[in-house]
Structures are given as C-alpha cells and as structure tokens.
Amino acid sequence: MTKKKIALVTGANKGLGFETSRQLARQGIRVLLGCRNQERGKAAETKLREEGLDVEFILLDVTKSDHIHQAARYLEEKYNRLDIHVNNAGITYPGESLSANSTETVSPKVLRKTFDVNFFGLVELTQALLPLIKKSTAGRVVNIASILASLSIHSQDNGMSQFKPFAYDASKTAVNAFTIHLAAALKGTNIKVNSAHPGWVKTDMGGEQAPMDVAEGAKTAVRLALLGPDGPTGKFFHFEEELAW
C-alpha cells in the first residue's frame, strides 16, 4: 500500500479537473482521474503519465450509483483510504446561457439534469467516500462552486446582476450549503471541507473570452486540497480571499 497521499478528482479528463489533477500530482500525490468517458479518461491518463506523473484513470459518472459504489469499493480494496477528494465534475445544461437570467423560463428538465450532476451526484459520491476519507490522517474535501452561487452577491445591485443562469446558480448554491453542513458534521475531526470559486476560466464552460487560464483557475482547489492542520473548514474561497455565501 502506497505511502503517498491519494486523491480523487472528478471530471478530470479536461479543463479544470485535468489541471487540478496535474498540479496535485506534481506535489507527489497519486491522483485518480474520475471520468465518465473511458476513451477520454484513458487519454488524460496517458498524457499526464507522459509528464512523469502518478495518475490513474477510474471510470466514474457521478450520476450513476453503480459507478459510485464501484469507485468506493476499488479505493477501499486498493488503498483503504482517501486523502483528498475534489468534486470538480459539473455542467451547464445546453441552452442555458451563463450571461442571462433564465429564472422565468428554465424547464424542470434542465433543473433536474443540472442538479443531477452538480449536486445530487456530488453528495452521493462524497457520502460513499466519507468512510475512506475518515481513514486519512488529514482528509480534505474540496467542492468546486462558483461566485454565481453567492446569494449575497446576487442580492446586491452590482456587476454580477446580469449573470443569473438559474439552474446552474441554484445547483452551486446547494453545493455551498452541503459544504457548510458537512463541515459542521465533521467538526472536531481531521477532515476539512471547503468550497472553491476557480474564477472565470478559459474552459468549455467559461469560453475563450474568459480572462484566466486553467493553470490559474486550478490554484484555489489545489490550495484547499493541501491545507495544513490549522487551515479553515466550512468556508468559500477564491485564491486566499474568503467569499460571501
């Protein structure tokens, strides 16, 4: 059994998930690349291994309970613990623009599909992995949220007022609620649970007009994944700045 820290990153075949995996692996951590597509997951594994990094593809669609249970069993049998869990997998449903207010028109289908990935799958997976995270000497759970999850910011008349894709925003607000509640449930343990706002990043979701590259965007999640024993828990960050819920 390896003495290296073990990390699992979901949605790891591209964008922020891929770069977060790369940066964690560069810290000498063995990173499991959770990906829902086997071909793309294996390609990501090959690319990072060619960089000399210790990574391993694992088939994981967070909306499928059988994938979640299989991943938990595999981690238990091979490593018997999990040190870092990054809930990165997330979507905006096709047709819901990030730059418009969809609240009056968003369909129940879009809401359910978005929540299935961004919230329900995230919660189910984290709950399944908690017994393994509790075996770590310093468990870290990082939930990728968004500044668009902040009710404080949305309730103000500011520059963010035009960005209200309701399904996406509401799902990420729910993620932040999970962060707060899980951190409280684990109070007094060696596990820290935090939410990360990566920033507006050049990804499939953020678009080419975004001002940040993925290397910068991954830094907040990586910092929270590597927090020391005196680090915060139950908080929401962009880089080192604490954000309002």
Active site residues: 168
CB 118 within 8 A of CB 143: no
Instruction: Name the nearest CA neighbour of 183 among 173, 195, 193.
Output: 193
User: What is the token pair recorded at 114?
Assistant: 């978005």
Which DSSP state fits 226? Answer: T
- Using alpha carbons, list the distances in angstroms from residue 77 to 1, 29, 34, 72: 10, 19, 17, 9
Tally Cβ neighbours within 10 Å of residue 103: 12
Cα–Cα distance, 152 to 146 (Å, whole number): 13
Which residue is associated with the tokens 């707060």? 180
